[in-house]
Amino acid sequence: MAEDSSRAFVRDVKRIVIKVGTAVVTRNDGRIALGRLGALCEQIKELNSQGYEIILVSSGAVGLGRQRLRYRRLVNSSFADLQKPQVELDGKACAAVGQNSLMALYDTLFNELDISSAQLLVTDSDFRDRDFRKQLSETVKSLLSLKVIPIFNENDAVSTRKAPYEDSSGIFWDNDSLAALLALELKADLLVLLSDVEGLYSGPPSDPKSKLIHTYVKEKHQGEITFGDKSRMGRGGMTAKVKAAVNAAYAGIPVVITR
């Protein structure tokens, strides 16, 4: 009976939003995780060829930009400059430089697989405009009909939002909540939040006592879970993923958190 239900669920899924976090896109040293990203693109290509409509939400621009700008600053600095305290790089500049690198990489990988991709950058204020939301839906529908992979990211280079974990407008506050919002706006059948751990645990994944939670029920598990630190390089980590997943689930969209 469970197997029949699972098959029926898979048949009902057509449009999937996949969110990739910074910890998935990059390695521990901040450089691009090329093998991981290449494997992801190959899996997306397989889903695309099977008729699924894939919408990708990808973090990683700020981390990639910071890594590149640190290197540029290093090679352009004199020995005397290196003795001075290093000023932290502007996050907006990192986002602008990194977004270019991130999309160039996706474009190269997807081209190798004979698939086209498209970049769509948004800010929370965009979604206040009803005409924008309508046009966004029409543009994505057109791209998907051409079997193009839309790749979304928050436009951090020009975003005016101050708080990283909450948004007074209640629209979105990071790429996890953006993915949940897009799943709702674009009428997705499934939301997949990719992480650098197997899924949602009852405590920090590094703790041997922590157990993997296969089905999260807010009323049951909210008080039982102890969240660890935020993502290695991103904004929110598992706390943000669970909050986004709950919002999407309440809107009737199934959510999977996995590696």
Tens of pLDDT, residue by residue over 54-93, are 999 999 999 899 988 988 888 877 777 677 777 789 989 9
DSSP result, 199-240: S-BSS-TTSTT--B-SS--HHHHTTT-------SSSS-THHH
**pLDDT single digits (tens) 169-203:** 568 888 999 999 999 999 999 999 998 776 566 56
Q: Which of 30-42 are b and which e, b meaning 16 or more Cβ less than 10 Å from the residue's Cβ?
A: eebbeebbeebbe
| 83 vs 19, more confident | 19
Whether residue 3 has pLDDT greater than 50? no
Contacts of 158 (CB under 8 A, 6+ apart): 92, 123
What confidence tier does 28 reach under pLDDT thresholds 50, 70, 90?
A: confident
The tokens for 67 are 């890594």
Measured between alpha carbons, how far is 258 from 63 in angstroms, rounded to an integer?
Answer: 22
Q: Within 10 Å of residue 2's Cβ, how many Cβ atoms?
A: 6
Whether residue 216 has pLDDT greater than 70? no
Contacts of 255 (CB under 8 A, 6+ apart): 180, 190, 191, 192, 193, 244, 245, 248, 249
* The Cα angle at residue 235 between residues 72 and 30, in degrees rounded to 5: 35
Could you tell me the pTM of the whole model?
0.84
Measured between alpha carbons, how far is 97 from 95 in angstroms, rounded to an integer?
Answer: 6
Measured between alpha carbons, how far is 119 from 102 in angstroms, rounded to an integer?
Answer: 10
Measured between alpha carbons, how far is 39 from 202 in angstroms, rounded to an integer?
Answer: 28
What confidence tier does 27 reach under pLDDT thresholds 50, 70, 90?
A: confident
The answer to whether 39 and 78 are in contact (CB under 8 A) is no
